Chains A and B, each alone.
Chain A
Amino acid sequence: MNGYGGSILRVNLSTGTITREPTSLELARDFIGGRGFGIYFLTKEVPVHADPLGPENKLIISNGPLSGMLAPGGGKCDWTCKSPLTGGYADASMGGHFTAEMKYAGLDSIILEGQSSKPVYLFIENAKAELRDASSLWGKGAIDTEVELKQMHGEPYQVAAIGPGGENQVLYACINHDYGRQAGRGGVGAVMGSKKLKAIVLHGTNSVPVADPEAYRKAGMALYKACKAADNLADWTRYGTTIVVSWCDEVGALPTRNFSAGSFEGGKTLYGPVMREQIVITDKGCFGCPCPCGKYSNMKRYGTRVEGPEYETIGMLGSDVGLSDIQDVAQANLLCDDLGIDSISAGGCISWAMEAYEKGVLTKEDTDGLDLRFGNVEAVFTAIKKIAAREGKLGALLSEGSKRAAIKVGKGTQDYAIQIKGMEQSAYAIHNATAMLISYMTCDVGAHHNRAWAITYDLQVGRDKVVPEKVARVIWLQHFRPMFDVLGGCRLQWVELGIDRDLYVPLLEAITGIKRTWEDLEKTGERIWNLTRLYWMREIDGFGRSWDQPSPRFYTEAPISGATAGQITRLEDVQKLLDMYYEQRGWDAEGHPTSSTLEKLDLLEFAI
């Protein structure tokens, strides 16, 4: 099957049964791969209202036709499940080398089902796959686990592992790979932990067939050539995602002290050039990437090393918790990675608790004696450790996510739990930035930026404008950008280097033998978007408009300082944006796809 590994590996952790089935041609045609395969299997195979941490939930790991190929950035792996954090759809994208190795082992998806009674790890080598005892690894950090498994099996083996956070089923636990790449969001690591699966070890040596070898090589080389000729290649490679820290600080998008502002007085010491000069020792790329955003850093003060921090972590465990020293932020990053919790949600939960503490709603009795003020670095480190271990009152409270924590604490704290659908908002402050606001409100995993990064568009057309063009832009981005998560590739060559997206069209055709224009691909993107919406509706009674609301902070409290001081989006404009969004999508006033929309998208069989 051209461009594919050719099979799906199904691993039942309850029974220990492992089977391989051929990847269906129809599935590849209609859902292509990655996130498309994920939502397909999730919808078809996981029972309605399954307990996300129970045996019925499945963790679906998928690559796509660009993965492992001569394609810039073909190193993205999609992890899909029902989210324990939100109760709805989740998928998390992981870079590194795992996805390519999967394909070389002949696999397009790995479907993890059931629950083991004892800790195990999954060992895969080409056609061989078996569950092995992981008792000696249980309790260890994700980094030590990777080190041990590589020592045991060899450096070429790729490893994905959970840390104690996943074992303890922290609702935003992540999965770690390649000493610094994560499937980070939505609690995919908790689902892996609930199955008592400590790690996956993977090695493949098969070649990947392609439809037209000559055209494939030509199209692949053309893409690399375009990347190398891009004006932004040198700067982007030097700084990676930290290139935007200064810009965000200047325009008021850098989350500061629980998103109460978008500019940070300590921001300058977190800027990309400062980090590069002070701590970065190596550029670290995902598979096939000509413009590696990964930065490997050495924190001399702590005697430690970490991949990162990248922008999101600088925002959420830097400015948002009031830390201004890049070594401190990098150390917090390392703790999250090794203990296996999502640094974005961790930062969101800790900053919420810090605000509640400073307001006197939480006291030292609630924080196990921690002086949880903004800027207290030791408090941040301790809080991360407590969360991963679910230790003490603070760990128990914050390990469930900020939405649940705020409901439990009450006293107005829900108004400043910066989350949507139960997922902590990633690191873009959206005071008076209406395109990014509607992007977050409607993102299909919760408040995450990667589907539609629209904040530059806000500045381009006027940040306070509430116009259909903004909504149309967000919808287009929601179809286009996640297509890279379907294809098993990375969007950043397009986003950051400005590569002509039409260069991917002949490459994809030469690999798969199926001709697809971007119009075709965006149509698939729209089908997937509507399917993920249907999944939320299916799982959550009463799911609709009320679930698409932002944190009240962005329509009730203007920042008192920084670039967005005094700026706010009015609540009526928030609702107007949502009305426009639903209308343009062909959804009703509750945000449910209408039957004619589903018919148009050939999705009637999935209707709720």
Chain B
Amino acid sequence: MRLYADSAKCSGCNACRVACSLNLFGETNPKKAALIIEPHFPEPGVYEVKVCTQCGECAQVCPVECIKQDDRGVYYVVQEDCIMCEACVPVCPEGVMFMDASLVPDTAWECDLCGDCVEVCGTSALRIAEKETA
């Protein structure tokens, strides 16, 4: 399973990112979200949404193996084991593996597929579905 985003439907409201930060950290702070909305205005006038595709690249490079898969096969960070080495961040093809010690001092973070972002998205730009195979 993974999260899918249809950027053409996104209105850039960021409700998903608030819900995400609440789930991951129990805090209201979209800067701590695990998905990205990039506005491209005034030209061409579109939003670009970037989400975790569950590719697992992050887990492969983690030297302490703190990025694990739950029983759905979804990757998540075992926060107390993270050593903040940042190896996972540059390998993420979507740019949605995060580490910022000024915001979160003790762990990297990523989408854990809780689904709250889907719940609050009014334009149905987000959905969770089985991974499509090539």
A233 touches B122 (CB 8 A): yes
Report the minimum CB–CB distance from B66 to chain A (whole Å): 23
User: Which of B28-36, B74-82, B83-91 interfaces with chain A?
Assistant: B28-36
With known contacts A224-B119, A281-B45, A282-B45, A288–B28 Cβ distance under 8 A = no
Q: Which of A25-80 contact B (CB under 8 A)?
A: 68-70, 72, 75
Report the minimum CB–CB distance from B131 to chain A (whole Å): 25
A282 touches B47 (CB 8 A): yes
Q: Report the separation of the CA atoms of residues A294 and B9 in the bound assembly, to the nearest whole angstrom.
A: 13
Report the minimum CB–CB distance from A298 to chain B (whole Å): 7
Q: Report the separation of the CA atoms of residues A70 and B19 in the bound assembly, to the nearest whole angstrom.
A: 7
Contact size range, B: 35 or more
Which residues of B sit under 8 angstroms from A207, Cβ to Cβ? 21, 25, 27-29, 32
User: Which of B10-18, B55-63, B105-113 interfaces with chain A?
Assistant: B10-18
Report the minimum CB–CB distance from A276 to chain B (whole Å): 14
Q: A415 contacts the other chain (Cβ, under 8 Å)? A: no
With known contacts A205-B102, A207-B29, A213-B26, A224–B41 Cβ distance under 8 A = no
By beta carbon, the residue of chain A nearest B116 is A221
Q: Report the separation of the CA atoms of residues A97 and B30 in the bound assembly, to the nearest whole angstrom.
A: 12
B45 touches A305 (CB 8 A): yes
Report the minimum CB–CB distance from B92 to chain A (whole Å): 19
Q: Report the separation of the CA atoms of residues A143 and B42 in the bound assembly, to the nearest whole angstrom.
A: 8
Q: B103 contacts the other chain (Cβ, under 8 Å)? A: yes
A288 touches B15 (CB 8 A): yes
Report the minimum CB–CB distance from A563 to chain B (whole Å): 33
Which residues of B sit under 8 angstroms from A282, Cβ to Cβ? 8, 11, 45-47
Q: Report the separation of the CA atoms of residues A580 and B35 in the bound assembly, to the nearest whole angstrom.
A: 54
B13 touches A286 (CB 8 A): yes
Contact size range, A: 35 or more
Q: A237 contacts the other chain (Cβ, under 8 Å)? A: yes
Which residues of B sit under 8 angstroms from A205, Cβ to Cβ? 29, 31, 102-103
Which residues of A sit under 8 angstroms from B42, Cβ to Cβ? 143, 147, 179, 305
By beta carbon, the residue of chain B nearest A237 is B123
Which residues of A sit under 8 angstroms from B27, Cβ to Cβ? 207-208
By beta carbon, the residue of chain A nearest B28 is A208
B47 touches A225 (CB 8 A): no
Q: Digitize A199-229: 1 where CB-to-B-CB distance is under 8 Å, 0 elsewhere.
A: 0000001111010010001000100110110
Of the candidates B29, B44, B45, which one forms a contact with A208 in the assembled complex, judged by CB atoms under 8 Å apart?
B29
Q: Report the separation of the CA atoms of residues A237 and B122 in the bound assembly, to the nearest whole angstrom.
A: 9
Report the minimum CB–CB distance from B32 to chain A (whole Å): 7
B103 touches A294 (CB 8 A): no
Which of B28, B32, B103 gathers most chain A CB within 10 Å? Answer: B28
B12 touches A285 (CB 8 A): yes
Which residues of A sit under 8 angstroms from B14, Cβ to Cβ? 97, 100, 287-288
Q: Report the separation of the CA atoms of residues A296 and B13 in the bound assembly, to the nearest whole angstrom.
A: 14
By beta carbon, the residue of chain B nearest A305 is B45
Report the minimum CB–CB distance from A230 to chain B (whole Å): 9
A290 touches B45 (CB 8 A): no
Report the minimum CB–CB distance from B112 to chain A (whole Å): 16
Q: Report the separation of the CA atoms of residues A131 and B45 in the bound assembly, to the nearest whole angstrom.
A: 30
Which residues of A sit under 8 angstroms from B39, Cβ to Cβ? 155
Q: Report the separation of the CA atoms of residues A227 and B25 in the bound assembly, to the nearest whole angstrom.
A: 25
By beta carbon, the residue of chain A nearest B103 is A205
A305 touches B43 (CB 8 A): yes
Q: Digitize A73-103: 1 where CB-to-B-CB distance is under 8 Å, 0 elsewhere.
A: 0010000000000000000000001001000
Of the candidates A97, A287, A291, A296, which one forms a contact with B45 in the assembled complex, judged by CB atoms under 8 Å apart?
A296
Which residues of A sit under 8 angstroms from B30, Cβ to Cβ? 100, 104
Which residues of A sit under 8 angstroms from B8, Cβ to Cβ? 282
With known contacts A221-B116, A288-B13, A210–B29 Cβ distance under 8 A = no
With known contacts A155-B38, A281-B45, A305-B43, A290–B29 Cβ distance under 8 A = no
Report the minimum CB–CB distance from B68 to chain A (whole Å): 25
By beta carbon, the residue of chain B nearest A70 is B18
Which residues of B sit under 8 angstroms from A221, Cβ to Cβ? 19, 116, 119-120
Of the candidates B13, B47, B123, which one forms a contact with A287 in the assembled complex, judged by CB atoms under 8 Å apart?
B13
Which residues of B sit under 8 angstroms from A395, Cβ to Cβ? none
Report the minimum CB–CB distance from A409 to chain B (whole Å): 37
A69 touches B45 (CB 8 A): no
B29 touches A179 (CB 8 A): no
Residues of A within 8 A of B (CB): 68-70, 72, 75, 97, 100, 104, 143, 147, 155, 178-179, 205-208, 210, 213, 217, 221, 224-225, 227-228, 233, 237, 281-292, 294, 296, 298, 305
A294-B11, A298-B45, A305-B45 given; 12 more Cβ-contact pairs under 8 Å: A68-B28, A70-B19, A70-B22, A70-B120, A207-B29, A221-B116, A284-B12, A287-B14, A291-B122, A292-B122, A305-B42, A305-B43
Sample 29 A-B pairs with CB under 8 A, ordered by A number. A68-B28, A69-B18, A70-B22, A70-B120, A104-B31, A143-B42, A147-B42, A155-B39, A179-B42, A207-B27, A207-B29, A208-B27, A221-B119, A224-B15, A224-B119, A224-B120, A281-B46, A282-B11, A282-B46, A288-B15, A288-B18, A289-B11, A289-B15, A290-B120, A290-B121, A290-B122, A292-B11, A292-B122, A305-B44
